[in-house]
Structure 1
Amino acid sequence: MRGYLRVYDFTRLNAIKGVKAVNQQSIEPGLSLHADYRFGSSPFSAGASYLYATPFNGCPNPATHLQPPCGGYKPPTTSLNPDDTLPGYALNTLYEAYVQYKDPHLYAKVGDQVINTPWANASDSRLKPVAFQGADVAYTAGGGVSLELMDMTRFESRTNSAFDDKTLLTAVNNLGSNPGLPAYRYFPGGHGVSNGGFQYGRVGFAGQHGLTTNLHLYHFDDIASLTWLDARYTDQGQKSKPYLALQAGRETSTGSALLGQIDAFAFGAQVGANVTKTITLALGYDQIPQHSATVTPPAGTTCSAAHVAGAKAGFSLPYFIGSNAPSCIANANGTTTYLYGGFASPYTDSYATDPLFTTSISQGMADRRAAGNGVKLSAGYTSPDKRLVFVTSRAYYDYGNRLGQQQTSEFDADLQYFANKPRPGAYKGLLFRYRYADREQANTAQYGGAPYFKYNRAQLEYDF
């Protein structure tokens, strides 16, 4: 038996520099328990994880967050709305229940489980991790080669207590304040749209001289197919352990294209090194080129004077376009040019947990669903006894195009303190973590975005 007790205090400052908005705060503890049982000396085992959490403000039902005193406040006000990304309501879930086989070469797990792949992962920065329902099989061959196949049919977000057949991009009225299904995509009933989950394959290589590489293949049912390549080389002969990491990916819509046409390509690079025994530096860059299409505008679609594409009730745009950035122009000849090219990430959207080198604490390029480029400089300090870890970063993003400018910048700080000295294996003991994100989005108000945002996240955790 193992588990953790977490207490979070999340504060979001939205009413900054004259912006008419309401600030948010949620304080909530959560207890998670995990148990494993091995069947004798065999390679078979079974496991389960359970979590219960409830907020301190006496508003455990998310439905009550739509009106005072639990939420629903409008500006101007000094009252606080809840931060339901924590969430600010109760959770009660058995999020893992599986059987597992594991020997030196073969690994298989079937059931409800937490997984770790670049574009579908645990996203564990709140009370509970994301979980998936399905099967995962991995095989470790000789020479550093590994293979993996996965089929996940259902999904439990980090702010839900049940598995369902929707994603972060196809659900509406998402618990946890996720943007969900784009407003320009219409499906009858207003309840979002189901899909069959995703299938995943991986071929990996881990060499003995500092080279690792992986080819990842995703099929997000009726949404998109994604090919993702990552590679990293570390010069192990140098004390500073300098490294070069590369990433590239291509995503195209597939099946019934629930989110519209997707055509995205990304590439990035990161360099880093240990400046001293306790200090690291890293610099990353990502680019997602833009695509355009000039067509006769479909019935019911709109293109505003601010170059924001939309659709009237009951109609849909045919393209997957970015958020809070210029996306269309109405031409004099009656056609409309749409600008698109961003990544659709059904299981990390709005979580800021995608694999791009430039993703920050509060947001990344995939969360904006837009084409553009980004650069991020980060520095880290780890004390000699490993008990104190501090990481800070500064990132700049450009989502502008020939129709208008939209630049975003973010400063982050992340401090962790471990009461006990961390040792190999899972940490046990008390830890404190504090994260701060300060984001500014220039020229975004005309595209529907918030120009300023500050995030404070305090976490007290006991692992046992």
Structure 2
Amino acid sequence: MLKRQALAAAMVGLLAASGAAHADGDIFSDGHVDGDLRLYNFNRLYASKTTPNTSAFSVAALINAQTGSFLTGFSIGGSFATANSLGTHSNELAKIDTTLAGPNNSIGTFSQAYLQYQHGIFLFRGGYQYLTDDPWMGNNDSRIIPSSYNALKVQITPLAGWSLFAIREYSWKSRTSGGMFPDNLYYSSKYDGDSMYGNNGSLPLHARSAPGTWEGGSTYVHGGLNAQLRYYDFMHFARTAYAVGSYVFDTGTGFNPVVGAQYVAQNAGTDNRFAETNTKLFGVAGDHVKSRAIGGDLGLVIPNGRFDLYYNKVAREEGAVGGGALISPYTANYGTDPLFTTSMIRGLVEAGPGRAWKGKFTYDLFDKQLQLTAAYAKYMTDYRGNSHDLYVDVIYHLDGYLRGLTLRDRWELSNGGIDNLNPTNKTFVYNRVMIDYKF
């Protein structure tokens, strides 16, 4: 039903655009089409003898289209995404990495279908869309198909580098789902027919649906300053205030110090989905949501590189859901939240209240064609023990006739933690080979 609605919306929009083409004359010539061709191969390797290794392979095409302007500022956009494992999935579900594209051999979905109005400092977009730069409600683009949202967005840009915005989100499509659903990552896989894999799945099947999210905030970028302030009402889950900022001191020497800080405050009463279903996070139920997190960054930009030392703390809160767990409906178990210390596999959203620090070094070679990243993170948590992750990321951007083609290999090794972090407390290696061609 949701797929048909998206297709109908796209067709109505195209008809409207067609009707306006005679008036403006540039709706198609000023439009554009772009996209990605992707090939991903993921492997999870467990040292635990009782846990089978999992793997998944998938190819995908993501096509984006947007018309030129008509009726002085209106345009219509849409995206279609399709992925296929080419029959390479194991016959045993336990041996498939379902976080890549789910357990099925193929997915096809309209991930965007929106109407946009942009004029001067004002922007409105309504319909299925990516929220690309949203830290807690982004498109989670570390897999084969991005997440997208059925939402209304209004943005004003009074000055260059400064924006004010408001968003009302109604439903979303996870990166393994075929359509939009009124749920989030705390719901079970296949909740209400949604094939949402790689999620937390804490809530019981009888839990009521999620009514969506209100968001408002502001971002500001000028010189070395990059700051944002956002407020989210993840309705019946958590009300979240988020502030983050960083400043790069330009010394003129090529060696520029960096300082950064972030703060998260959450609360919600007894009407939240966790309290009303007595759902436990990290083995702890609660009658309300309350969470506080702080973070810091000390860094140094060097010629062709950067080094950062990060810190985060999520305070323990007695009587709260998960003992003070950070509630993140659209990143939980995805490892895509904006906390400074989040690794490729997980962070404090997945590990629970506690402390973490992380060292990260990036370096570019051959005029930024080759990008190298190495990181080490340690987590000291109240409910899931201590664990640490070692991360290596190699990205190569090809040039010349193959411009647009990127080869990437992400590798992370995790040690420690309790069973559901690393089975039987053994080493866990995650390797992601990713090939992407943008056109």
**Is 2:48 the counterpart of 1:47?**
no
| Among 169, 182, 188, the residue aligned to 2:186 | 169
Q: How many residues align?
A: 387
CA distance in 2, matches of 1:134, 1:446: 34
Q: Report the counterpart of residue 212 of structure 1 in structure 2.
A: 226
**Is 2:371 the counterpart of 1:357?**
no
CA distance in 2, matches of 1:447, 1:200: 31
Per-residue displacement from partner, 1:78-115 (whole Å, max 9, x unpaired)?
A: xxx11110015311001100011223411111100000
- Residue 448 of structure 1 deviates from its aligned partner by 8.8
**Is 2:121 the counterpart of 1:142?**
no
Q: Report the counterpart of residue 156 of structure 1 in structure 2.
A: 173
- Residue 236 of structure 1 deviates from its aligned partner by 2.3
User: How has the CA–CA distance of structure 1 residues 143 and 50 changed in structure 2, closer, same or farther, with 3 Å as cutoff?
Assistant: closer
**Is 2:304 the counterpart of 1:288?**
no
**Is 2:246 the counterpart of 1:232?**
yes
| Among 128, 135, 156, the residue aligned to 1:112 | 128
Which amino acid in structure 2 is aligned with residue 286 of structure 1? N
Q: Report the counterpart of residue 321 of structure 2 in structure 1.
A: 320
**Is 2:85 the counterpart of 1:71?**
no
User: How has the CA–CA distance of structure 1 residues 141 and 247 changed in structure 2, closer, same or farther, with 3 Å as cutoff?
Assistant: same
Superposition misfits of 4+ residues, deviation over 6 angstroms: none
**Is 2:144 the counterpart of 1:127?**
yes
Which amino acid in structure 2 is aligned with residue 49 of structure 1? S
User: How has the CA–CA distance of structure 1 residues 374 and 448 changed in structure 2, closer, same or farther, with 3 Å as cutoff?
Assistant: closer
Q: Report the counterpart of residue 62 of structure 1 in structure 2.
A: none
Q: Report the counterpart of residue 462 of structure 1 in structure 2.
A: 437
**Is 2:353 the counterpart of 1:371?**
yes
- Residue 341 of structure 1 deviates from its aligned partner by 0.7
CA distance in 1, matches of 2:178, 2:419: 34
Contact 1:320–1:342 (8 Å) recurs in 2: yes
Contact 1:434–1:459 (8 Å) recurs in 2: yes
- Extract unaligned runs of 5+ from structure 2: 1-32, 276-287
Alignment of 1:4-15 (within 5 A): 4-14=36-46
Query: TM-score w.r.t. structure 1 length?
Result: 0.79
SS in 1 for 2:350: helix
Alignment of 1:212-291 (within 5 A): 212-238=226-252, 239-254=254-269, 256-260=271-275, 261-275=288-302, 277-291=303-317
- Residue 292 of structure 1 deviates from its aligned partner by 1.7
Per-residue displacement from partner, 1:384-425 (whole Å, max 9, x unpaired)?
A: 411111111000000137xxx710100011111111279xxx
Q: Report the counterpart of residue 409 of structure 1 in structure 2.
A: 388
User: How has the CA–CA distance of structure 1 residues 146 and 440 changed in structure 2, closer, same or farther, with 3 Å as cutoff?
Assistant: same
Contact 2:215–2:231 (8 Å) recurs in 1: yes
Identity %: 24
Query: TM-score w.r.t. structure 2 length?
Result: 0.83
Q: Report the counterpart of residue 91 of structure 1 in structure 2.
A: 107
User: How has the CA–CA distance of structure 1 residues 166 and 240 changed in structure 2, closer, same or farther, with 3 Å as cutoff?
Assistant: same
| Among 24, 42, 45, the residue aligned to 2:54 | 24
Contact 1:385–1:421 (8 Å) recurs in 2: no
- Residue 445 of structure 1 deviates from its aligned partner by 3.5
Q: Report the counterpart of residue 9 of structure 2 in structure 1.
A: none
Superposed CA RMSD in Å reads 2.3
Which amino acid in structure 1 is aligned with residue 378 of structure 2? Y
- Residue 373 of structure 1 deviates from its aligned partner by 0.5
CA distance in 2, matches of 1:279, 1:448: 32
CA distance in 1, matches of 2:98, 2:269: 32
- Extract unaligned runs of 5+ from structure 1: 60-68, 74-80, 294-318, 322-339
SS in 2 for 1:259: helix
CA distance in 1, matches of 2:138, 2:93: 31
User: How has the CA–CA distance of structure 1 residues 103 and 272 changed in structure 2, closer, same or farther, with 3 Å as cutoff?
Assistant: farther
CA distance in 2, matches of 1:142, 1:39: 23
Alignment of 1:402-441 (within 5 A): 406-420=385-399, 429-441=404-416
Q: Report the counterpart of residue 280 of structure 2 in structure 1.
A: none
Structure ranking higher in helix proportion: 2
Q: Report the counterpart of residue 390 of structure 1 in structure 2.
A: 372
User: How has the CA–CA distance of structure 1 residues 99 and 447 changed in structure 2, closer, same or farther, with 3 Å as cutoff?
Assistant: closer
CA distance in 2, matches of 1:142, 1:448: 48
- Residue 181 of structure 1 deviates from its aligned partner by 3.5
Stretch of structure 1 that moved more, 82-91 or 158-167: 82-91
Per-residue displacement from partner, 1:258-317 (whole Å, max 9, x unpaired)?
A: 023211000000121223x22211110000111224xxxxxxxxxxxxxxxxxxxxxxxx
Per-residue displacement from partner, 1:169-222 (whole Å, max 9, x unpaired)?
A: 13444645334342xx54xxx2543011101000233334x2232210000011
SS in 1 for 2:273: coil
Contact 1:433–1:458 (8 Å) recurs in 2: yes
SS in 2 for 1:292: coil
Per-residue displacement from partner, 1:102-158 (whole Å, max 9, x unpaired)?
A: 234111111000002111101101111110001111111137542110000001001
SS in 1 for 2:274: coil
User: How has the CA–CA distance of structure 1 residues 428 and 100 changed in structure 2, closer, same or farther, with 3 Å as cutoff?
Assistant: farther
SS in 1 for 2:138: coil
Which amino acid in structure 1 is aligned with residue 165 of structure 2? E
